[in-house]
């Protein structure tokens, strides 16, 4: 922090402070600088320091402090207007708007004072000759704030009708205010149409598109434009996150989370800004913030989470219920102060309405990590239906019949239905279920227990036997054996199923049981033998194991095929049998047959009316089709699996299917659709509790698809979220490096060059240990670019030097040459760096020449010639730039002559490449022509201009074609620009001749 000794050092200090982050530290420095300005005894210095103080207060949470410096400025203007220069005169009138809005946001300032100030503003603007546009805009703000809708509409119309002048807000801010009013009046589509130029980057300023993105969230949700709402949240929150003065916009993002099922992310946002609960410098934005805190906390309470710990005002721990009560009291007290000041109830009504909003979307996945808070509320789908059944007055006979119908037709709710029968039978007095009913209850209880259900299946077998169904008893014993195999006891399971197998075949042959019971035993045995195949997965499977399993499956199919009739269970046995044969074919090295059989099994389940059973085999089919290169079939199967899974598909399965579909769709270049599927994958992974594993991978993929679309801010949010959970151990170092690489690209595009450099250096450090070093070299080079753009020249030079060494080791002369050129430009920007810059650029030329001599094919030589041409061109530009720094005329002329020599070399090199390098050649030719004029050689300059015009003499037809939609428009645009510049050069040369 330099000492303030004169006006220039004060201005530098104010400029430096203006670049600091918003907040108390910057404000305190502005106050100190005002004291320093007063010591200089220069009126304009004090005026500028007061203006600087006013600005930093306005862009902070201490807005209430700006009235004092403004009053002082106004007094100085009234006493000695001649002390103000043109800029400070303009600034004084400009900040009238800030003060007007600032008074409105402070409930202790009487409304009469606000109205008086509005009149003062109008008077002074009229005296200064300014338009009434800014005054009418301020009047509109007053009327809208107090709820005087008739006056607000009049002022709004007068605002738009008045001429724009230098006192009008920038286009971006005006459009925000105009769109905000339309949204307030329920005209969301009109608001968004007005905001479009700001959202698309046509108009921007220090606080736009920040506030437009925030204000657009609820209108987009109300219009069901959910994808845009998601994108605006990710993009907009990134802009306001670090800006202390944007509490109101920050509140809009918290509100969005509360209205879209993203309560957990809303809590994360609150945790990032604890001071927002208590900062009192801007009461109106505090009211907005507290109102949405109430909204979020009430939402959590509705989910049964009133007792959950949440971030709140510092100094104590809070539950959602406690914070809701506290924030509501604080917000309503603030609103009451505004209403008392305004003489209306409008502010309080709006605050209450905001707190009472209901979600507009049950769940809008964002792609960033934030697991949904656990809720006592039932999940949609299957559990909703089960809960609805529980609400019906029970009739045990009816319930048994319904449970049996569900189990006989293999419906997903069969296990739950039999559990309900068991529960109600136990609760009812004097009710004794028949043995058959108790057998089926035990059977389905065992199904629900999975590998732990063997003993329960054995109990079911005993009950079936008592009920007079020996065949089903044997089938239950076979099921018990199978679940033992699931626990890894395969040999024991085979021994256990041997007796039921022999007995059921004998019983079936005697007519003592039917096909369904026999098929149940045969299926159990086949499943156990398939487990033996699965246990050998990844190894060479013994032919005898494969043969035994196949024989068991074919025995099952021989028994059942043609005998299914209307029995859904038997039809399902056939389909599962074909799926087993598909697995065996795959294990036998015949994936084509496996794919065909999986497709057949899935189709049979669909024909039987059991689409949820088809899902597993459609997923397996997708994997095989992918392996076989049939991406169309893989995509079809994945879409079918998602469709057929319906509400019965578990969250983790849904996540896996969406992730596979994203990869397939992304592989055919459809990045936008692929991003949608990756987003769904991330959401369902979080729902399944697999956020740190599968979810992180899905976010990694989603970020990549967003990068491919150039959606840099959204991608950065998603990739940063992914990096928080990606690990080398779980996901591999390749995924971590690629995520950091993509994130570095995003941050670079967003102008966050220091952070981009950090991410690229992190990735390079990991890649440093890889056997193949191309990625390491590329990342080191990219990191150097970011360091240079961040103004860290020494660090950038070191990184370029390292990249150059890596390129040399790899034999990549193009990377080496580009690193040398970049270092040359960095050197030129340092004191006494001209000689070093020349040496580096000369080294780049030499490297090109050396590599050309050793190139062993024509294509490589052509690429090297092109690289040499660009190096000569940059060398010429560098020398011309260095000449401008020299004070001596002779040295300037010598430098320009040397620059011209390099440009001439570039022209010669590019000419050797023919028509393919015409634009590069003409660009160098024009640069050389301008150097000729600088050296006082108009004839030579004119010759070069004419050479460019000749080069494009035949390009007129192409340009015309481009105007009607034909040809390469970008190239034709270049040709037109080159011709125009050549005409300018020719005219300049002719004028120079005439002097």
Cα gap 673→878, rounded to integer Å: 46
What's the Cα-to-Cα distance from 47 to each of 44, 74, 91, 874, 963, rounded to whole Å? 5, 10, 10, 46, 54
CB-CB neighbours of 79 under 10 Å: 8
Q: Are strands 309-310 and 318-319 parallel, antiparallel or unpaired?
A: antiparallel
CA 437 to chain centre: 54
User: Which of 216, 198, 218 lies closest to 207, judged by CA?
Assistant: 198
What's the Cα-to-Cα distance from 78 to each of 50, 117, 125, 418, 935, rounded to whole Å? 15, 16, 14, 89, 55
* Residue pair 676/710 in contact by the 8 Å Cβ criterion: no
Compute and round to an integer the Cα radius of gyration of the chain: 38
Give me the helix-helix angle, 346-355 and 320-342, nearest 10°.
Answer: 160
Tokens 């024909």 locate to 607
What is the three-class DSSP state of 660?
Answer: helix
Kindly tell me the burial class for residue 153, based on how many C-beta atoms sit within 10 Å of its own C-beta (0-12, 13-18, 19 or more): middle
Q: Which residues contact 882 (CB under 8 A, 6 or more apart)?
A: 828, 834, 837, 838, 895
Cα gap 54→76, rounded to integer Å: 15
Which residues pair with residue 318 across a beta bridge? 310
- Phi, psi dihedrals of residue 201, rounded to the nearest 5°: 90, 5
List the structure tokens of 394: 């029970």
pLDDT, position 363 = 87
Residue ranges for the chain with pLDDT beneath 50: 375-393, 539-540, 957-968
Peptide bond into 655 cis (omega under 30): no
Residues 181-211: pLDDT tens digits?
Answer: 999 999 999 999 999 999 999 999 988 999 9
Please name the residue ranges forming H helices in 428-542: 435-449, 454-466, 470-486, 490-509, 515-535
Cα gap 593→574, rounded to integer Å: 17
What's the Cα-to-Cα distance from 64 to each of 135, 715, 761, rounded to whole Å? 21, 37, 43
- Phi, psi dihedrals of residue 609, rounded to the nearest 5°: 85, 25
Cα gap 728→762, rounded to integer Å: 13
* Residue pair 528/493 in contact by the 8 Å Cβ criterion: yes
Q: What is the DSSP letter of 791?
A: T
Tokens 């270092």 locate to 823
Residues 948-974: pLDDT tens digits?
Answer: 999 988 655 443 333 333 344 555 888
Cα gap 604→598, rounded to integer Å: 10
Task: Record the pTM.
Answer: 0.83
What is the chain's length? Answer: 995
Q: Which residues contact 859 (CB under 8 A, 6 or more apart)?
A: none
Cα gap 438→982, rounded to integer Å: 96
Tokens 């459809």 locate to 670
Which residues pair with residue 205 across a beta bridge? 208
pLDDT, position 233 = 96
* Residue pair 347/240 in contact by the 8 Å Cβ criterion: no
pLDDT, position 98 = 83
Cα gap 412→391, rounded to integer Å: 19
N-terminal to C-terminal alpha carbon distance within the chain:
52
List the structure tokens of 129: 């000759």
- Phi, psi dihedrals of residue 937, rounded to the nearest 5°: -120, 70
Kindly tell me the burial class for residue 772, based on how many C-beta atoms sit within 10 Å of its own C-beta (0-12, 13-18, 19 or more): exposed
* Residue pair 389/398 in contact by the 8 Å Cβ criterion: no
What is the three-class DSSP state of 207?
Answer: coil
CB-CB neighbours of 123 under 10 Å: 11
Give me the helix-helix angle, 631-645 and 611-627, nearest 10°.
Answer: 160
pLDDT, position 834 = 86
Residue 187 zone, left/alpha/beta (φ > 0; ψ -120 to 50; rest): beta
What's the Cα-to-Cα distance from 910 to each of 329, 859, 865, 866, 872, rounded to whole Å? 75, 15, 8, 7, 10
CA 489 to chain centre: 47
User: Which of 144, 107, 50, 55 lies closest to 280, judged by CA?
Assistant: 107
Q: Which residues contact 602 (CB under 8 A, 6 or more apart)?
A: 575, 614, 617, 618, 621, 637, 640
Cα gap 504→520, rounded to integer Å: 10
What is the three-class DSSP state of 419?
Answer: helix
Strand spans (E) along 129-198:
none
What's the Cα-to-Cα distance from 608 to each of 143, 578, 603, 800, rounded to whole Å? 67, 14, 9, 66
pLDDT, position 381 = 44
SS3 content of the chain, % helix, strand, coil (to 5): 75, 0, 20
CB-CB neighbours of 468 under 10 Å: 10
Cα gap 323→180, rounded to integer Å: 29
Tokens 């069969």 locate to 414
């Amino acid at each position: 922090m330099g000492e303030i000794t004169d006006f220039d050092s004060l201005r530098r200090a104010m400029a430096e402070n203006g670049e600091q982050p918003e907040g108390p530290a910057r404000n305190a420095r502005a106050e100190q600088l005002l004291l320093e300005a007063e010591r200089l005894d220069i009126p304009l210095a004090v005026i500028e320091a007061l203006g600087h103080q006013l600005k930093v207060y306005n862009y902070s949470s201490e807005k209430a402090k700006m009235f004092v410096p403004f009053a002082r400025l106004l007094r100085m203007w009234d006493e000695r207007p001649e002390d103000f220069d043109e800029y400070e005169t303009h600034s004084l009138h400009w900040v009238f708007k800030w003060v007007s809005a600032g008074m409105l946001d402070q409930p202790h300032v009487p409304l009469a004072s606000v109205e008086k100030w509005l009149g003062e503003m109008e008077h002074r603007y009229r005296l200064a000759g300014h338009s009434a546009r800014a005054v009418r805009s301020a009047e509109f703000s007053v009327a809208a704030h107090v709820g005087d809708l008739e006056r607000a509409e009049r002022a709004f119309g007068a605002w738009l009708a008045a001429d724009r002048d230098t006192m009008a807000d920038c286009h971006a801010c005006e459009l925000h205010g105009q769109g905000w009013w339309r949204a307030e009046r329920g005209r969301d589509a009109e608001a968004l149409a007005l905001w479009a130029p700001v959202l698309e980057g046509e108009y921007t300023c220090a606080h736009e598109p920040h506030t437009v993105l925030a204000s657009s969230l609820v209108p987009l949700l109300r219009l069901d434009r959910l994808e845009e709402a998601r994108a605006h949240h990710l993009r907009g929150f990134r802009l306001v996150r670090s800006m202390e003065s944007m509490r109101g916009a920050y509140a809009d993002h918290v509100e969005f989370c509360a209205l879209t099922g993203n309560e957990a992310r809303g809590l994360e946002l609150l945790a990032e800004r604890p001071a927002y609960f208590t900062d009192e410098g801007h009461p109106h934005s505090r009211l907005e913030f507290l109102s949405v805190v109430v909204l979020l906390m009430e939402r959590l309470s509705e989910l049964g989470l009133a007792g959950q710990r949440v971030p709140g005002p510092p100094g104590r721990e809070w539950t959602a219920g406690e914070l809701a009560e506290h924030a509501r009291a604080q917000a309503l007290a603030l609103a009451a102060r505004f209403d008392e000041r305004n003489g209306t109830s409008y502010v309080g009504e709006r605050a209450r309405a905001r707190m009472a909003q209901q979600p507009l979307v049950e769940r809008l996945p964002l792609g960033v990590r934030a697991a949904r808070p656990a809720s006592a509320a039932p999940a949609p789908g299957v559990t909703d239906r089960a809960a609805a059944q529980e609400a019906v007055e029970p009739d045990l006979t009816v319930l048994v019949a319904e449970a049996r119908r569900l189990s006989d037709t293999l419906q997903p709710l069969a296990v739950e239905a039999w559990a309900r029968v068991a529960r109600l039978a136990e609760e009812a007095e004097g009710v004794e279920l028949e043995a058959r009913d108790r057998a089926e209850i035990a059977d389905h209880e065992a199904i629900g227990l999975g590998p732990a259900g063997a003993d329960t299946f054995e109990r079911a077998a005993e009950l079936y036997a008592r009920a007079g169904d020996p065949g089903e008893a044997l089938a239950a014993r076979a099921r018990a054996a199978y679940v033992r195999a699931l626990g890894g006891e395969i040999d024991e399971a085979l021994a256990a199923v041997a007796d039921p197998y022999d007995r059921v075949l004998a019983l079936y042959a005697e007519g003592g049981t039917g096909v369904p019971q026999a098929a149940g035993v045969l299926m159990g045995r086949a499943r156990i033998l398939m487990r033996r195949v699965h246990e050998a997965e990844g190894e060479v499977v013994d032919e005898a194991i494969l043969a035994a399993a196949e024989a068991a499956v074919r025995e099952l199919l021989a028994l059942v095929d043609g005998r299914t009739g209307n029995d859904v269970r038997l039809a399902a046995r056939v389909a599962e049998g074909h799926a087993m044969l598909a697995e065996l074919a795959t294990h036998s090295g015949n994936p084509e047959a496996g794919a065909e059989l999986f497709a057949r099994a899935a189709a049979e389940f669909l024909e039987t009316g059991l689409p949820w059973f088809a899902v597993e085999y459609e997923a397996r089919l997708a994997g095989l089709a992918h392996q076989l290169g049939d991406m169309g079939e893989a995509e079809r199967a994945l879409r079918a699996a998602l469709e057929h899974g319906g509400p019965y598909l578990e969250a983790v399965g849904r996540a896996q299917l969406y992730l596979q579909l994203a990869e397939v769709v992304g592989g055919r270049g459809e990045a936008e659709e692929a991003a949608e599927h990756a987003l769904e994958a991330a959401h369902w992974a979080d729902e399944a509790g697999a956020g740190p594993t599968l979810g992180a991978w899905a976010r990694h993929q989603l970020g990549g698809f967003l990068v491919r679309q150039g959606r840099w801010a959204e991608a950065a949010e998603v990739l940063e979220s992914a990096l928080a959970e990606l690990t080398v151990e779980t996901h591999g170092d390749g995924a971590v490096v690629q995520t950091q690489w993509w994130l570095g690209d995003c941050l670079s595009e967003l102008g966050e060059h220091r952070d981009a450099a950090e991410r690229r250096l992190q990735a390079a450090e990991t890649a440093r240990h890889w056997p193949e070093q191309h990625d390491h070299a590329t990342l080191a080079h990219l990191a150097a670019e970011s360091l240079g753009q961040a103004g860290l020249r020494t660090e950038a030079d070191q990184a370029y030097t390292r990249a150059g060494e890596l390129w040399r080791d790899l034999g990549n002369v193009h990377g080496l040459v580009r690193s040398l050129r970049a270092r040359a430009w960095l050197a030129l920007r340092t004191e006494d760096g001209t000689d070093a810059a020349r040496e580096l650029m000369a080294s780049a030329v030499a490297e090109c020449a050396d590599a050309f001599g050793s190139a062993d094919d024509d294509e490589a030589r052509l690429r090297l010639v092109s690289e040499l041409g660009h190096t000569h061109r940059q060398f010429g530009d560098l020398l011309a730039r260095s000449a401008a720094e020299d004070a001596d005329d002779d040295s300037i002329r010598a430098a320009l002559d040397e620059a011209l020599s390099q440009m001439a070399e570039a022209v010669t090199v590019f000419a050797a490449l023919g028509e393919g390098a015409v634009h590069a050649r003409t660009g160098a030719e024009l640069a050389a022509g301008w150097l000729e004029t600088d050296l006082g050689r108009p004839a030579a300059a004119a010759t070069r201009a004419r050479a460019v015009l000749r080069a494009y003499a035949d390009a007129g037809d192409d340009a015309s074609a481009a105007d009607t939609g034909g040809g390469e428009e970008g190239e034709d645009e270049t040709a037109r620009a080159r011709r125009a510049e050549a005409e300018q050069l020719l005219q300049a040369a002719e004028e120079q001749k005439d002097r």
